[in-house]
Structure 1
Amino acid sequence: MNPSDFFTRSKANEGEKLPLSLPDGTPTDEWLLIRGVDSDEFQAALDAHRRTILANAAIEDEAERAEKNRQAGLKLHAALIMGWSFEAELTPEALEEFLREAPHLAVEVDHFASNRQRFFRKGSASSVKG
């Protein structure tokens, strides 16, 4: 074996497609292109998220602090999404709205991106090369 056999960053940066189903479980042709948690983009977003949460700790109003932390969480989850099949333009605002209005997908995106094995499947047909 070589040390490079353990490298995860490059594959995490490439992304994998997450097929989307409707909330009732009906499959669709829609998908999200998800970065892995070891990707450069997500690691930078995670650092920013930590700084934001620390700064928000100084906010005395509990409701305001909770809302700012919720917004920070949306930004963090949005950093995992690098593409989608929807006709709408992929913008940070569109991603945050999508995840805010479909919170179950934020959880699904997080689980998908955290599964390192998913990015290293042999013969993965859904892997997207740069």
Structure 2
Amino acid sequence: MKPSDFFTRAKANEGERMPLSLPDGTPTDEWLLIRGVDSDQFRVALDDFRRELLAAASIKDEAEKAEKTEAARLRMNSALVIGWSFDIEFTDDALLELLRESPYITAEVDRFASDRRRFFGKRSTGSLKD
């Protein structure tokens, strides 16, 4: 083996397709292109999230604190998504709306991005290089 066998950053930056299902579990042809948690962009977003949490900790109003924390969490998760198959244009605002209004997708993005086997195991039918 060689040290490069353990490298993860470049592959995590490329992204993999994550198939989307409807809330009832029905599979669809839609997908999100997801970076891995070892990607440069996510590591920066994670640092930003931690700073925002520290800043929010000093907020006395619990509702405001919760709102700031949730907004920071959505921004962090949005750093994992780099594209999609929807007919509408992929924009930061459209992505944040999808993640805010579909918490089950946000949770799936987090699980998918954290599963290094999705990025470094055998190529799946959902891979970027189909």
Matches within 5 A, 1:61-76: 61-76=61-76
Structure 2 letter corresponding to 1:105: I
Between the aligned partners of 1:79 and 1:90, the Cα distance in structure 2 is 13
Between the aligned partners of 1:14 and 1:91, the Cα distance in structure 2 is 18
Aligned length: 129
- For the structure 1 residues 66 and 123, does the alpha-carbon distance in structure 2 shift closer, same or farther, using more than 3 Å as the test? closer
Give me the identity figure in percent: 65
Between the aligned partners of 1:28 and 1:55, the Cα distance in structure 2 is 40
Partner of 1:96: 96
Between the aligned partners of 1:54 and 1:123, the Cα distance in structure 2 is 39
Matches within 5 A, 1:101-120: 101-120=101-120
Matched position secondary structure for 2:28: strand
CA deviation map 1:86-116 (0-9, x unaligned)? 1111111111110111000110000000001
Q: Contact 1:14/1:127 (CA < 8 Å) preserved in 2?
A: no
Between the aligned partners of 2:20 and 2:99, the Cα distance in structure 1 is 13
TM-score by length of 1: 0.94
Q: Could you tell me how far 1:9 is from its partner in structure 2?
A: 0.5
Higher deviation after alignment, 96-105 or 119-128: 119-128
Partner of 1:2: 2
Matches within 5 A, 1:77-92: 77-92=77-92
CA deviation map 1:49-105 (0-9, x unaligned)? 111111111111111011100010111111110000011111111111101110001
TM-score by length of 2: 0.94
Structure 2 letter corresponding to 1:114: S
- Tell me whether 1:50 sits opposite 2:34 in the alignment: no
Unpaired stretches in structure 1, ≥5 consecutive residues: none
Partner of 1:19: 19
Aligned CA-pair RMSD? 1.1
